[in-house]
Amino acid sequence: MRLPRESLLFLGLSTAICALVGLVFGISTGSLIDPSPPRASSTPPATASSLAPLPTSTAPPLPQGVSPAPPGPQRSLILIGVDDAQAATPQLEGVWVITFQPGINEYYVISFPPSARFHLASLSGEMSMRDIYAEDLRQQLGFHFVRDAVQSRFRAFSIEADVVLDRGDFAGLVASIGGLDLTGQALAGPELLSNYDQYPVDDNANRMFFQQQVFKLLFETMAAQSWTPGSLLTYIEQLPQVQADPARESALDAFFVGAPVFPDSTIIWHDYLPEMEIGATP
């Protein structure tokens, strides 16, 4: 029997409303979605475009009769990237939230561009992440406003620690693993930063695409060289901005406890998109 035209319209409208409600609920509760990797808005330089998505590894099977340990509470780290951490007024390059659950071999990363905009109850008016970070620096109370911005959109994140890495810190990390192999050519940190700087500061699509590919390649290279979460923690804790802050160093120690081993883990990457902006306050 053919349904009346009015019934078909009502059924389609109901389906669309249910889908929209599910999307809004997932974002507001901090449930991570898994969109397709972002596409660059223009043709990237040769070194950037050569970074193909990396193969993912899987954890080895447990011996027969051994049950996996139950996953522990979720932990999140806010990584704040700046141009020069020792400058009087460092300029924000980006914010990344790294999340894992002990017992699950996955790292979730969500990337925020400096231009991402929020309306926070803790601050008056609409502000970009760049200006929110600058306000944190001005008040010198830690990165409370950056945390507010993240948790205004992802309330389920349990943020354990935050840390600042600048361009020199990142270049040093890449140098400590012998550079990154891009199509057979090993590039050290300065060369990677030079390629990154070919994108204008307002070209979020290309910059975030480049970040995603380099983060994944860095992770895979560390795994291949038997780096552990403890090895990475040792590198971070020798940085001047961490050594000068015992409370932050202690928080980092606590965050890394139970972090999944690199060779058996995968990275799941998400970009903070314009349609996620503004719509919630903490």
Q: pLDDT: is 97 or 4 the higher one?
A: 97
Q: Rounded to 5, what percent of the chain is helix, strand, coil?
A: 40, 20, 40
Angle (deg, nearest 10), helices 229-237 and 246-256: 170
Q: How is residue 9 annotated by DSSP?
A: H
Q: Tokens 């480049």 correspond to what residue? A: 210
Among candidate residues 139, 105, 99, the one with its CA nearest the CA of residue 123: 139
| Max Cα distance, the chain (Å) | 75
CA atoms within 13 A of residue 127's CA, in its CB half-sphere: 21
Would you state the structure tokens that stand for residue 179, as one six-digit string? 């550079």
Bigger pLDDT: 225 or 280?
A: 225
Quick one: pLDDT at residue 70? 57
pLDDT in tens, 189-243: 788 888 889 999 999 999 999 899 889 999 999 999 999 999 999 999 999 999 9
Side-chain half-sphere exposure of 281, counting CA atoms within 13 A: 9
Cross-strand bridge partners of residue 107 = 267
CB < 8 Å & 24+ apart, contacts of 53-57? 53/213, 53/216, 54/216, 54/217, 54/220, 56/266, 57/223, 57/263, 57/264, 57/265, 57/266
Question: What would the pLDDT profile of 152-190 be if each residue is shown by its tens digit?
Answer: 888 888 999 999 999 999 999 999 998 888 667 677 878
**Phi-psi domain of 30 (left: phi exceeds 0; alpha: psi -120 through 50; beta: other):** left
- pLDDT bin (cut points 50, 70, 90) of residue 82 is very high
